């Protein structure tokens, strides 16, 4: 499946807008050693292209659900993202210039790479099963969402013994 658009074939006139719809299979994301996949596997992407005085204005829209393990409790997590981004491409601008899109190479718009990068920028710091996820117990590893508990009779970690001695000597 080709995830690019040949910009030469569009032959846009100034002010004209062309809309393209592609179904993309985005590569899974690996975050914190865990794999997150898009659902459905094939994601519909809308691209609008318009000519603005010899340069192109490129708009991309997609809606996607990302699924994988919760980063706190390792249960199942899913997040929905609506992504809308815009790029500007002036073919006369020098490479590396802000007016030249990195997603256009040899007059081909790489929609797959653009969509994946745009989605990556929309991801939260942590993907959770729910906002108030309690996570796993650091002592016994049980899911604190299912079985909230504490370990009151827990002995302190021996690595903190030097700090405990320092505290006692300062008192």
Q: What is the pLDDT of residue 11?
A: 84
Distance of CA 29 to the CA centre of its chain: 8
Mark the ranges of the chain whose per-residue pLDDT is less than 70: 1-2, 154
Q: What is the pLDDT of residue 128?
A: 96
Q: What is the pLDDT of residue 164?
A: 85
Q: Tokens 């590893």 appear where?
A: 141
* Predicted TM-score of the model (pTM): 0.80
**pLDDT per residue over 4-54, tens digit each?**
999 888 888 888 899 999 999 999 999 988 999 998 889 999 999 998 888
| Cβ-based neighbours of 63, under 8 Å, separated by 6 or more | 43, 44, 80, 81, 82, 83
């Amino acid at each position: 499946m080709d995830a690019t658009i040949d910009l030469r074939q569009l032959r846009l006139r100034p002010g004209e807008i062309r809309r393209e719809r592609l179904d993309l299979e985005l590569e899974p994301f690996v975050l914190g050693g865990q794999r997150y996949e898009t659902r459905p596997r094939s994601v519909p992407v809308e691209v609008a292209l318009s000519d603005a005085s010899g340069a192109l204005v490129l708009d991309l829209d997609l809606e996607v659900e990302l699924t994988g393990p919760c980063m706190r409790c390792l249960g199942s997590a899913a997040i929905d993202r609506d992504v809308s981004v815009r790029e500007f491409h002036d073919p006369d601008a020098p490479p590396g210039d802000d007016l030249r899109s990195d997603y256009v190479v040899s007059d081909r718009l790489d929609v797959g790479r653009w969509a994946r990068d745009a989605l990556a920028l929309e991801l939260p710091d942590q993907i959770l099963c729910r906002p108030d996820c309690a996570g796993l117990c650091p002592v016994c590893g049980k899911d604190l969402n299912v079985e909230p508990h504490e370990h009151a009779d827990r002995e302190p970690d021996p690595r903190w013994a030097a700090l405990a001695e320092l505290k006692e000597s300062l008192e």
